[in-house]
């Protein structure tokens, strides 16, 4: 994008490959080791001292560094011997570098940094034959020469590029000045022989910052070719298409410099530089097979503002003082662009929805500062947010995309209209080929439709399953359905999924399942309840691999998601019914496949997971097993014996006494307060405990009781100090115990009868 923007900016500048300016020597001190501070203009004695600190300069040739006075003859003082104060440098050369950046036609948002290379002394007879500078640093775009004031003749710097030539030399002046020049590093240049006096100069490598494009296009005056090269590179690069579920077709959206309205937006009515740039973009679009459109662009900028607060600022704040006139915008916090009122290549309006632009596709060379906002809104301090200023602008844009991405863009911009077209094609048996072509072009971007929002997700997956059924194309259907996850298997579409499986086959569906499996988050242990229905509905033997895959996946998810969470026993206990229901549904599925190994593993898992599946809750599962062909297996007998022995042991203890106030739940903490709480719980006679304790201890006891789910009523008595925690055992202890006792009896009879 940087290269495209730089090419577009080049339309309006009068850039050159060489720029120069003069700067005063005042307050610009140069110190050289063993020489001291240089005096302007430099005199022969001090120059001799510089030569004493110098060495013959080398030059680069291919990958070598050579010394040959037939090619280059000059004295070089290493940069580590040269000292210039940073503040003086910044004050003197910050504006110079900005001027050089503009003169060389470098991107507006870029920045030049100067890196000192050396101090050079040319005495009579010194020269440097024609050459091009080697790249001495990453991002080096140009070379800067600063000629110090001395008396000399000869030593002209000759710079050539594309048949054009510039000569740069120090101008004679009554007041000593620094003569500064800069040229692109790949320009052919030479230093003519010095015939008298001494030519002393500083050489700098100019490094381009805040720019990520290539550096060798800035000298290209064929703007169309430069723009074509950068646009082709932009559209060929797929860096923005990494996340499949958020994938978008690539677009280039260039905001024009001028403001337009619906009535004035037309290919024929574009203004000034807008016309020239758009004409070039149209010509390049045709060459690169790109579609191009015009649209109005409503742009909102949100600025962070600075305000000058005086001694009355506290008073102002108290009365919510907001004064837009005193707000000084400091930096842009957010930018939002919405495209509307689309114009096609034929100049006619296109019926397309308003479209919020992805900033990664947005480019503009003209800032909003030169435009008048049609609305602005200032908001003062609000909570943690400072002063903000919103400004709205009416601009226009030319929008480019690959022609092959036409339907993908329509799909992104106006999904409702696109899906209506798909629906019409689905109902026309003669349009199958067109339907397949369109869907193939949008399939890489289907994830945006699949993940549109939760309210429409059920309808979206149903539509996609219907599409996959009609087009009867394995690759396109898999690409469309791959945009979803396991959560797409819901009650209302299971028959559709079964139809899809029978249409595309076992291997195809297994590949899709593996794609879904990779999308599972490591913390997301998701049981797919309707997998069990698919397992049962599929014909045994014909789809054995699918059934085994689904059974293995379900079993793995059950084991992981049902694992005991000790941090909140009450919550875990509350989910017991759901866990048992999951097991009952899974039992139906595993029995439908006659999978002996799966039945055995499940039975053994239930036996060892007593905290997750209490024996009293497993009567229905056990009954299912005992009525199956596996009723005589060792594992099923072990499960039956586990249930019978566990429940019989409790049943034989008899009915709980109505006077028994004990509670078997235990605190999951070993502190002294929790030990005292446990003593109160197991006490058969005590029904109430009044506990004087400080707030931290009281809060801890309450938290433990809630987390474990102990049946106690809790109140705080605020009379006296410290406050007292009043714990009262539930009046339903006997009733609950009686109901459990009677239920155990029924389950024992039920299991025994199923044997």
Q: Is residue 93 part of a domain?
A: yes
Q: What angle do CA 227, 229, 234 make, to 5 degrees?
A: 90
Dist. CA 711–CA 476, nearest whole Å: 57
Tell me what pLDDT residue 96 has: 93
Q: Which residues of the chain have pLDDT under 70?
A: 10-15, 60-64, 135, 162, 211-222, 238-247, 272, 306-331, 370, 379-386, 452-456, 522-526, 564-567, 755
CB 667 within 8 A of CB 678: yes
Q: Is residue 530 part of a domain?
A: yes
CB 260 within 8 A of CB 320: no
Tell me what pLDDT residue 566 has: 54
Which range of residues forms the domain containing residue 367?
Answer: 223-310+325-408
Dist. CA 725–CA 728, nearest whole Å: 10
Is 434 in the same domain as 539?
yes
Is 381 in the same domain as 254?
yes
Residue 394: CA count within 13 A, CB half-sphere: 10
Q: Is residue 568 part of a domain?
A: yes
Dist. CA 455–CA 461, nearest whole Å: 12
- For the range 339-344, what are the long-range contacts, defined as Cβ-Cβ under 8 Å and sequence gap of 24 or more? 339/253, 339/295, 339/296, 339/297, 339/397, 339/399, 340/295, 340/296, 340/298, 341/262, 341/265, 341/295, 341/296, 342/293, 342/294, 342/295, 343/265, 343/266, 343/267, 343/293, 343/294, 343/295, 344/293
Dist. CA 277–CA 273, nearest whole Å: 6
Q: Of 104, 247, 252, 78, which is closest to residue 166 (Cα–Cα)?
A: 104
Q: What is the dihedral of CA 743, 748, 753, 755, to 10 degrees?
A: 140
Is 228 in the same domain as 191?
no
Is 346 in the same domain as 463?
no
Q: Is residue 169 part of a domain?
A: yes
Q: Of 180, 122, 115, which is closest to residue 150 (Cα–Cα)?
A: 122
Q: Of 625, 650, 627, which is closest to residue 639 (Cα–Cα)?
A: 625
Tell me what pLDDT residue 491 has: 85
Dist. CA 303–CA 376, nearest whole Å: 11
Dist. CA 184–CA 144, nearest whole Å: 9
Is 187 in the same domain as 280?
no
Q: Of 178, 209, 171, which is closest to residue 22 (Cα–Cα)?
A: 178
* H or E stretch covering 481: helix 474-481
Longest dimension (CA), the chain: 123
Tell me what pLDDT residue 319 has: 38
Residue 665: CA count within 13 A, CB half-sphere: 18
Q: How distant is the alpha carbon of residue 89 from its chain centre?
A: 40
Collapse the DSSP code of 319 into the 3-class scheme (helix H, G, I; strand E, B; otherwise coil) and give the result: coil
Neighbour-count burial of 416, counting CB atoms closer than 10 A to its CB (0-12 exposed, 13-18 middle, 19+ buried)? exposed
Residue 357: CA count within 13 A, CB half-sphere: 28
Tell me what pLDDT residue 643 has: 94
Tell me what pLDDT residue 370 has: 67
Residue 411: CA count within 13 A, CB half-sphere: 24
Q: Please report, in angstroms and rounded to a whole number, the separation of the first and last CA atoms in the chain.
A: 75
Question: Which string of DSSP letters, residue by residue, matches 496-559?
Answer: HHHHHHHHH-HHHHHHHHHHHHHT--TT-----TTHHHHHHHSPTTTTHHHHHHHHHHHHHHHH
- Phi, psi dihedral angles at 671 (to 5 degrees): -70, 170
Is 229 in the same domain as 186?
no
Q: How distant is the alpha carbon of residue 394 from its chain centre?
A: 29
CB 118 within 8 A of CB 78: yes
Cis peptide before 41 (omega within 30 of 0): yes
In this prediction the pTM is 0.62
Dist. CA 506–CA 627, nearest whole Å: 31
Is 458 in the same domain as 596?
yes
Is 491 in the same domain as 466?
yes
CB 590 within 8 A of CB 598: yes
Dist. CA 213–CA 237, nearest whole Å: 13
Question: Which string of DSSP letters, residue by residue, matches 190-220?
Answer: EEPPEEEE-EEEEEEEEEEES--S-STTTT-
Tell me what pLDDT residue 424 has: 93
The two three-digit tokens of residue 244, written as one number: 């499949």
The set of residues, in sequence order, having a beta carbon less than 8 Å from that of 47 and lying 6+ positions away, is 121, 123, 150, 198, 200
Q: Is residue 638 part of a domain?
A: no
Q: Of 258, 263, 262, 267, which is closest to residue 293 (Cα–Cα)?
A: 267
Is 395 in the same domain as 262?
yes
Is 577 in the same domain as 681?
no
Q: Is residue 631 part of a domain?
A: no
Neighbour-count burial of 206, counting CB atoms closer than 10 A to its CB (0-12 exposed, 13-18 middle, 19+ buried)? buried
Tell me what pLDDT residue 409 has: 85
Give the total residue count for the chain.
Answer: 755
Query: In which residue are the tokens 């050459």 written?
Result: 131
CATH number for 124: 2.60.120
The dihedral built from the CA positions of residue 265, 271, 277 and 283, taken in this order, carries a sign that is positive
Neighbour-count burial of 130, counting CB atoms closer than 10 A to its CB (0-12 exposed, 13-18 middle, 19+ buried)? exposed
CB 691 within 8 A of CB 725: yes
Cis peptide before 248 (omega within 30 of 0): no
CA distances from 215 to 12, 96, 106, 296 (A): 19, 21, 10, 33
Q: Is residue 357 part of a domain?
A: yes
Dist. CA 503–CA 481, nearest whole Å: 14
CB 371 within 8 A of CB 394: no
Tell me what pLDDT residue 545 has: 94
The set of residues, in sequence order, having a beta carbon less than 8 Å from that of 523 and lying 6+ positions away, is none
Q: What is the dihedral of CA 199, 205, 210, 215, to 10 degrees?
A: 110
| Total structural domains within the chain | 4
- pLDDT tens-place string over residues 95-107: 999 999 888 877 7
β 177-184/127-131 pair status? unpaired
Tell me what pLDDT residue 374 has: 75
Neighbours of 287 (CB within 10 A): 12
CB 150 within 8 A of CB 200: yes
User: Which of 179, 209, 239 delimits the end of a domain?
Assistant: 209
Q: Is residue 257 part of a domain?
A: yes
User: Which of 408, 429, 450 delimits the end of a domain?
Assistant: 408
User: Which of 180, 209, 238 delimits the end of a domain?
Assistant: 209
Is 79 in the same domain as 205?
yes
Dist. CA 96–CA 22, nearest whole Å: 9
Neighbour-count burial of 613, counting CB atoms closer than 10 A to its CB (0-12 exposed, 13-18 middle, 19+ buried)? buried
CB 119 within 8 A of CB 75: no
Is 557 in the same domain as 696?
no
Question: Which string of DSSP letters, residue by residue, matches 515-530?
Answer: HHHHT--TT-----TT
């Amino acid at each position: 994008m940087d290269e495209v923007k730089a090419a577009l900016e080049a339309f309006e500048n009068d850039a050159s490959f060489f720029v120069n300016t003069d700067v005063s020597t005042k307050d610009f001190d140069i110190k050289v080791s063993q020489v001291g501070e240089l005096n302007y203009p430099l005199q022969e004695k001090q120059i001799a001292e510089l030569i004493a600190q110098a060495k013959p300069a080398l030059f680069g040739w291919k990958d070598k560094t050579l010394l040959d006075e037939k090619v280059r003859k000059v004295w070089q003082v290493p940069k580590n011997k040269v000292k210039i104060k940073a503040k003086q440098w910044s004050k003197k050369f910050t504006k110079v570098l900005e001027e050089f950046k503009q003169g060389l036609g470098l991107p507006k948002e870029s920045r030049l940094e100067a890196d000192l290379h050396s101090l050079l002394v040319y005495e009579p007879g010194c020269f440097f034959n024609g050459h091009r500078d080697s790249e001495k640093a990453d991002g080096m775009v140009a070379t800067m020469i600063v000629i110090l004031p001395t008396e000399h003749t000869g030593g002209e710097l000759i710079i050539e590029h594309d048949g054009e030539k510039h000569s740069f030399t120090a101008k004679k002046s009554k007041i000593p000045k620094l003569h500064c020049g800069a040229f692109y590093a790949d320009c052919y240049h030479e230093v003519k022989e010095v015939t008298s006096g001494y030519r002393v100069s500083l050489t700098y490598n100019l490094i381009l910052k805040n720019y990520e494009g290539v550096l060798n296009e800035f000298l290209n005056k064929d703007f169309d070719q430069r723009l074509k090269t950068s646009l082709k590179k932009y559209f060929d690069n797929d860096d923005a298409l990494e996340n499949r579920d958020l994938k978008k077709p690539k677009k280039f959206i260039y905001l024009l410099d001028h403001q337009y309205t619906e009535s004035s937006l037309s290919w024929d009515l574009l203004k000034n530089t807008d016309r020239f740039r758009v004409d070039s973009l149209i010509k390049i679009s045709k060459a690169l097979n790109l579609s191009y459109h015009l649209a109005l662009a409503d742009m909102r900028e949100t600025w962070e503002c600075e305000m000058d607060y005086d001694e009355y600022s506290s008073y102002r704040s108290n009365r919510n003082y907001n004064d837009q006139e005193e707000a000084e915008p400091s930096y842009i916090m957010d930018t939002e662009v919405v495209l509307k009122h689309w114009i096609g290549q034929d100049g006619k309006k296109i019926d397309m929805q308003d479209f919020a632009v992805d900033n990664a596709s947005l480019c503009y060379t003209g800032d909003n500062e030169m435009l008048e906002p049609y609305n602005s809104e200032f908001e003062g301090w609000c909570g943690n947010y400072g002063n903000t200023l919103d400004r709205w602008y009416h601009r226009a844009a030319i929008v480019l995309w690959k022609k092959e991405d036409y339907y993908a863009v329509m799909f992104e911009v106006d999904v409702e209209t696109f899906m209506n077209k798909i629906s019409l094609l689905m109902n026309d048996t003669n349009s199958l080929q067109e339907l397949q072509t369109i869907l193939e072009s949008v399939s890489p971007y289907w994830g945006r439709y699949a993940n549109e929002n939760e309210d429409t997700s059920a309808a979206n997956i149903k539509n996609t399953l219907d599409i996959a059924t009609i087009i009867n194309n394995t690759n396109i259907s898999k690409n469309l359905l791959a945009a979803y996850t396991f959560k797409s298997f819901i009650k209302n579409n299971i028959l559709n999924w079964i139809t899809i499986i029978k249409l595309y086959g076992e291997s195809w569906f297994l590949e899709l399942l593996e794609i879904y499996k990779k999308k599972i988050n490591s913390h997301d242990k998701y049981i797919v309840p309707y997998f069990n229905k698919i397992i049962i509905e599929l014909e045994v033997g014909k789809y054995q691999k699918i059934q085994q895959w689904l059974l293995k996946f379900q079993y793995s998810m059950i084991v992981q998601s049902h694992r005991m969470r000790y941090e909140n026993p009450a919550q875990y206990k509350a989910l017991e019914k759901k866990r048992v229901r999951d097991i009952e549904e899974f039992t139906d599925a595993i029995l439908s496949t006659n999978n002996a190994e799966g039945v055995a593993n499940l039975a053994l898992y239930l036996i060892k997971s007593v905290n997750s599946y209490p024996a009293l809750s497993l009567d229905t599962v056990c009954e299912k097993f005992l009525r199956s062909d596996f009723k005589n297996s060792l594992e099923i007998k072990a499960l039956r014996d586990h249930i019978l022995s566990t429940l019989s042991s409790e049943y034989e203890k008899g009915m709980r006494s109505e006077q028994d106030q004990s509670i078997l739940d235990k605190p999951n903490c070993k502190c002294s307060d929790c030990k005292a709480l446990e003593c109160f719980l197991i006490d058969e006679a005590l029904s109430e405990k009044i506990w004087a304790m400080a707030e931290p201890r009281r809060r801890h006891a309450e938290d433990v009781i809630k987390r474990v789910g102990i049946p106690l009523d809790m109140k705080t008595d605020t009379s006296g100090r410290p406050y007292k925690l009043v714990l009262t055992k539930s009046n339903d202890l006997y009733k609950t115990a009686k109901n459990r006792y009677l239920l155990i009896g029924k389950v024992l009879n039920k299991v025994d009868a199923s044997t």
